[in-house]
Structures are given as structure tokens and as C-alpha cells.
Chains A and B, each alone.
Chain A
Amino acid sequence: MTGRNFTRRRLGQTALAGAALLGAPLPLRDAFAQGGPANLKVGLLLPTSGLQAQIGQACKRGADVANEVFTDMKLPVKLDIVNYDTETKPDVARTQAEKAIDAGCHMLVGAFDSGQTIAIAQVCEQRGVPLVVNIAAAPQITEQGYKFVVRNFPTAPMLITGALALHKEIFKVSGKTPKTAVLMSVNDTFGTSMINGIKALFPKLDMPYELVDTISYDVAAKDLSVEVAKAKATKAELLLPVSRLNDAKLLVQEMVKQRWEPMGVLNPGAPGLYEQDFLKTMGKYGEFMISNVPWLDPKSAMTTALEKRHAAKYPNDQLDLNGGFTFEGILIAAQAWLAAKSTKPGDLMEALRKIKIDQHVMVGGPIQFDAKGQNVNIKATAVENLKRKPTVVLPLESAAAPLVFPMPPWNDKRRT
């Protein structure tokens, strides 16, 4: 076809053919989606691409094995889970939520990030479709008076308060209490928000140690030698890192290099230290570091079933709190449907308000929501890296191994 022969009519025909070709996935997709059993259809909205892709995919893996775990647990339910990618953008999250509801989803679960979750919550509120928030910590999500939103994740103040309260528990159980601590934090939005939260709550919690310094560093830092030297110079007995993954690795490498051996490294609710990549890369130097985050309850039969199914389907990926909370999001949808015996949004929402799920996977009391839609029974845990695995050591009733604190020196033979 030459440019000379390319007429307006030809363009019209080509455009029509192109539109038909490109539009084909829409009915195709619906056909796939409707191919499953006629039961509860759940739209799972997660950032599986973009900046938060890694975490979004970890969340999705938890949901991917949900139906199999339900079968193992003799839960008489099979959900039709349809995945939607928010691309780590609130505007995309909003259009994807509209799309999911238009495609017939009875409930939505998502979306890891507060901005994206709020964008979805507004659509759910306007369309009257229940949203189960798997992970998002902004307190405003359950303070806005939404009628169709419930959250099964602690708010940011709950996370920090829970983490700092566990510090006291760690000192009590180990019988060793540090007198000073230094806070090291990545200077991105998350780090800044955590630092501000910790500083605001610290005086109210009557902590046994004094915060001697706060050292911030750039999220893209390639070398933390100066920052670690500065922290070491404070002679603080405890390091509280608010880190992401890569800077957590840099931080520990530099601590080993500079032979800085504080009494412990206690992460007050941030990612990094418990992540699979950190454990693999840091080897024996990643051992005995403690993260104070919500975690999977090793004493729960459902956790065992989830871990088994997850390991079978994703042998190279660690099941962490992202997968755990997303699985619970799907579990909540399933239990609401079982209780409501209906897919009508109003009935499902009514069931969600009254729900009480005793058997679940994360550490804490039964899943139930207060008048604002917040689950207040989630407990913080102390997860210690033991034998290259994040292991619950506190609270004692959920502990899978005894706490090791203070942290053994870098060359201690307990590090293997």
C-alpha cells in the first residue's frame, strides 16, 4: 500500500479493522471472566506494575492460592477472583475500580497504597459496592464516614504504637534494656511520615530509652558510610532503622564494615529487614534483626495451609505480610458472602459489619470491624530473622522460636 493509494475511505476501513482487532480483548476478557462458576465475583485491585510492582505482586500471590486454601480448610466457597492492575497510580486505580464494577464484581479488595485505595473507595461509595482494604495505613480511610469500606490493616499510628509497645516487651522478655537509641531513616515520603509519627508518639509511650539522634539519608543513596559512622559516634545501644530494601542492605553492610555492634537492630514498622532479598543477600549478617510489623501467625492452621499452597505454587517466593493480608482480604469477602447468602451489595455490606472471623492467618484477635469499618484486633509482632527466615518471637502466644536479644556480635558462631 503506497501513500498515494491511501485514501480516506481506506483509512476508515483500516481504522475500523484496527478498532475491531484492538477491541477484541474486551469481550474476550469478559468471556474468560465469566467462564468460572457463577458465584461471588471479587475484583482484586493491586499495583502489579509501576513503582510498587514488587509488593503488588507479593500481595497477588496471597490471593492466587486463596481458593485452594479454602478447599484445604473445608470452607465451602470458591470465589471468582478477577485481577486489575492499578499501575501504582490513583487515576488508574479509579478507572479500574469502575471497570471492575461494570464487569459485575460484587466486592472489591485492594489496593496496598493509601492514595490508590482512597480513589477506589470513592467509586465504591458512589456505586454502593463493598471494598475490603487489604493494606493501606492512612487513618483517613476509615475516618471519612464511608459506608462501603472496611479495612483489615492497622492505621499508621496503630502500627507505630504497636511496634514501640513491643520494644518494651522485648526488653522485658530478654531482661536487657538499652538506654539510648538512634533513629536512621530514608528521607522519602514513607520515611518522613514514619519519623514524624514516631517523634509524635514517643513522648506519650514512656519508652525506656532516649532517642539520641535522628539521621536521614537519601532513598537513592549508594553509600551510607558517613551516616553509619555518625550513628556509631552517638554510642547508641539500639538502632531503629526506617528503611526500604536496598538501603537496609547498605546499612547492614556498612555496620559490619565499621564493626558497629549495637545491642539490637529493631525496625519500628518498616519493610526491608524481613524481605526475602535482604535475607538472601545479607546471609549471616541479616540474622537476629527484628522487625515489629504485623505477621502471619505460625500457630494458626490456616497459616500452615496458606504457607503450604504458597510454597507449592511459588517455590521461589517468600510469603510475607503483603500476601497474608491480601489472602485475608479474600477470606473476608468469602466469609461475608457465606454469611449474606447473597451477592447484593447491601447484604454483603451488612454481613461485613457483623462479621467475626476467628480462624484467619495474621497474628491478632478475630477479624471484626468497628463502627468505622476498622479491624482493631490486629496485633504487632516481633519478627526476628532466624535461620534465614523471618520468625515470630513475640507475642509469646504466637512465638515460633525464642527471642534472641541482644543481637550476637558479627563474628559470633551463632551466625552461620
Chain B
Amino acid sequence: MNLLARLTGGVPARSLWGLGLLFAFLLVAPALLGKYGLSVLILVLYFAYVGQAWNIMMGFAGQLSLGHALYAGLGGYIAAGLFFHYGIGPWAGVFVAVLAASAAGSVVGYLGFRFSLAGVYFALLTIAFSEFTRIAFDHWAWAGGSGGLFLKVDAGSDMLNLRGGPLLFYYVILALAVGAFILCRALLESRLGRYWLAIREDPEAAQAVGVPVLRCKMIAIVISAALTALAGVWNAFYYNNLFPETAFAMGRSIEFTLAPIIGGLGTLFGPIVGAVVLTGLGEIFTDLSEVFHVSGLKQIFYGLALLVIVMYRPAGVWPWIAERFGFGEKRQ
């Protein structure tokens, strides 16, 4: 009860109602939406989840990572490889995947934070790690090399091995998204969360008042990497194939950052709102492209829409919605 009170403390009743309604809708959405609608909603939840994971690094702790595909790729490859080669199911493989991604995050973090790499320099370090991992996987026969790793597709449903149709994957990604949301809320409400915000705002000042900056940053990258690895595992079993060129692609890392940036960096709802806006706009513009028979029209509209959002709502869409409609927290 105490935990629940802590998690919901300061949140306006209308926000809690809104959250409850949203959750209820998500629970019954598969019954209301067609298969196509469900596949779009799966993408929304996936980007909301990975956005939440990335937000811990950038939004909470203020560390810019442009190489998060590294953790998703590692997570996916390890869980899929264990399943493919040894028949170890993803529910067990996920622990190895998360451990490996956390270890990779620790190495990147230690190199960056210990030697005071910040801003774009730290971002470059994250890109470099993602890139050379891609090249390594291109040549690693166990992982299928550049030809890719393919999981056997099974028409039946097998929860133990995460084999099944879109409905199964929908509820798994929904559980992950809800879990990440609650975890992020709990983290933000904790002492560690306060430390992160202090580091984000002014690392020198935080250090001066005794915040263990290196440790806090390390915890941020480890948690973020671990959560992203979970998304990688889900992704590998949903699509059943992995290629180094796409799993560790820079473009994928950028995709992870878009939802929180558009939705609102450092906010809990930002990644969710951002994922809804981006995926929704994407689908609308895809339809427009098809109506007008012009390939690439979507990308132009999409770019313009992002430009407008960034120009007029630089803090993101969610802070504006929260302010307008009284969803913001009331803090003492």
C-alpha cells in the first residue's frame, strides 16, 4: 500500500483515471481492433517501451546515447542464438541476454564516465561500440554472420518458447511497457532518481554536494541497457530473424530516441505520447503516399511534422498536454 501511495503521490485524480482508462483500453484493444490495427498498436507499445528505456539515460540522467541498438541487438542475438543452437527458451535466455547487455553497458559507461566524456563525445563512443559490434557479428558464424540468424517459425502457440501469433506478442510487449512505466516512476521517486535529475541539471554542482556521480551514471546505463535488451529479445522472437546490418544499425538507435524526444524528454508519459504521435502520423502519411502514388511522400510529411513539433513544442508534446489539461503533478 505504501508503495502504491508513493507511486501515485502527487498525481492528480484525472491523471489516474486517464491512466486507468488507457490501461483498460489496451487490455481489450485486440478485441476491438483488426489485425492491422493490432500490428500498429504493437509497434506503438514497442517504441514506447524502448523510448522509456532510453529516457532513463538521456531524460533522467542526461547522458546522450546514440548507440542503444547495441543493447537491443545483443539481447536479441543472445536469446535467439541460445534458442536456435541449444533449445534454451527465451524465458531463460533473457537472463543471459540482459546480463550481457548490462555488461556491455557497463563497459561503455565506465569508459565514458570515468574519463569524463560528455555530450556528443559520449554519444560518439556509444555509436562506435554499436558499429564495431555490428562488424563483429557480421563475421561471427555462431550468430549466422552477415547472412543473418533465423528462428524456426512455428504456426502453433508455445508460451514457454515465446512462439505464437501477434496476440501473444501484444500482451508481452504490453506487460513490458507497463512494467517499464512503473519502474521508471519508482526510480524517479527514489533517491537515485533525484540524484539523476541533479546530475542532468548540473553534474559539477551535484558532485559538489556529494552525489556519487559516476555510480549514479553507471546505474542509469546498466538499467537502460538491461531494459533495452528485453526489447531486443522480444523483437527477435516476434520477427524471427536478425541481421547485423539492421539489429545494430545507427538508424535503429535513432528510432529509439524519437518517441521520448517528441513526447517529452525526462517525462514518464513522453515516450508513450511520442510513440503514439510518431507511429500514428507514420501510418497516416503512409496512406497518403499510397493515395497519391508517390513513394517517399511519407518521409517528407513525417519530417515536416517533426520539424513543426520540435519548433513549436521543443519540450515535447506531453508537457504541453499536461499543462493544458491539468495532468501535471502537484508537488509541494
Residues of A near any B CB (own CB < 8 A): 6, 8, 11, 22-23, 25-26, 28-29, 32, 48-50, 53, 56-57, 83-85, 87, 90-92, 94-96, 98-99, 101-102, 114-115, 118-119, 121-122, 125-127, 138, 140, 144-147, 156, 188-190, 192-193, 196
Chain A residues closer than 8 Å to B34, beta-carbon distance: 102
Determine the main DSSP class of B at the interface with A: helix
Beyond the given pairs A85-B289, A98-B39, A119-B241, 6 more chain A to chain B contacts, judged by CB atoms under 8 angstroms and listed by A's residue number, are A28-B291, A49-B296, A114-B243, A122-B239, A122-B240, A145-B152
Q: Give the interface centre of A48, A56, A145, A193 by most chain B CB atoms within 10 Å.
A: A193
Query: In the complex the two chains form, is B147's CB within 8 Å of A25's CB?
Result: no
B239 near A119 with CB under 8 A, answer: yes
**B133 lies within 8 A of chain A by Cβ:** no
* A90 with B245, Cβ < 8 A, contacts A99-B36, A122-B240, A196-B145 known: no
Q: Is B299 an interface residue (CB 8 A)?
A: yes
B246 near A: Cβ within 8 Å? yes
Complexed CA–CA distance, A109 and B38 (Å): 22
B287 touches A25 (CB 8 A): yes
Q: A11-B324, A83-B290, A95-B43 are in contact. Are A118 and B295 (CB under 8 A)?
A: no
Q: Per-residue CB proximity of B307-332 to A under 8 Å, as 1/0?
A: 00000000000000000110000000
Kindly identify which residue among A102, A118, A193 contacts B147, using a CB–CB cutoff of 8 Å: A193
Provide the bound-state CA to CA distance between A122 and B239, in Å: 8
Task: Assess the A127–B290 pair: CB atoms within 8 A.
Answer: no
Q: Are B153 and A83 in contact (CB under 8 A)?
A: no
- Cross-chain contact B35 with A127 (CB below 8 angstroms): yes
CA separation between A140 and B139, bound complex, in Å? 19
Q: In the complex where A85-B298, A126-B155, A189-B146 touch, is A22 in contact with B284 (Cβ < 8 A)? A: yes
Please name all residues of chain B whose beta carbon is closer than 8 Å to the beta carbon of A56 when the two chains form the complex: 295
| B293 CB-CB contact with A under 8 Å | yes
| CA A196 to CA B152, docked complex, whole Å | 23
CB pair A91 B296 closer than 8 Å: no
CA distance A144 to B299 in the complex (A): 34
Q: Are A144 and B146 in contact (CB under 8 A)?
A: no
Inter-chain contact B39/A115, CB cutoff 8 Å: no
User: Shortest CB–CB separation between residue A391 and chain B, in angstroms?
Assistant: 30
Answer yes or no: B286 CB below 8 A from chain A CBs. Answer: yes
**Chain A residues, CB < 8 A from B286:** 85, 92, 96
A145 to B150, CA, bound (A): 13
**Cα distance A217–B276 in the bound complex, in angstroms:** 41
Q: How far is the CB of B139 from the nearest CB of chain A, in Å?
A: 7
**Chain B proximity of A205: nearest CB distance (Å):** 19
Assembly CA distance A196 to B145 (angstroms): 9
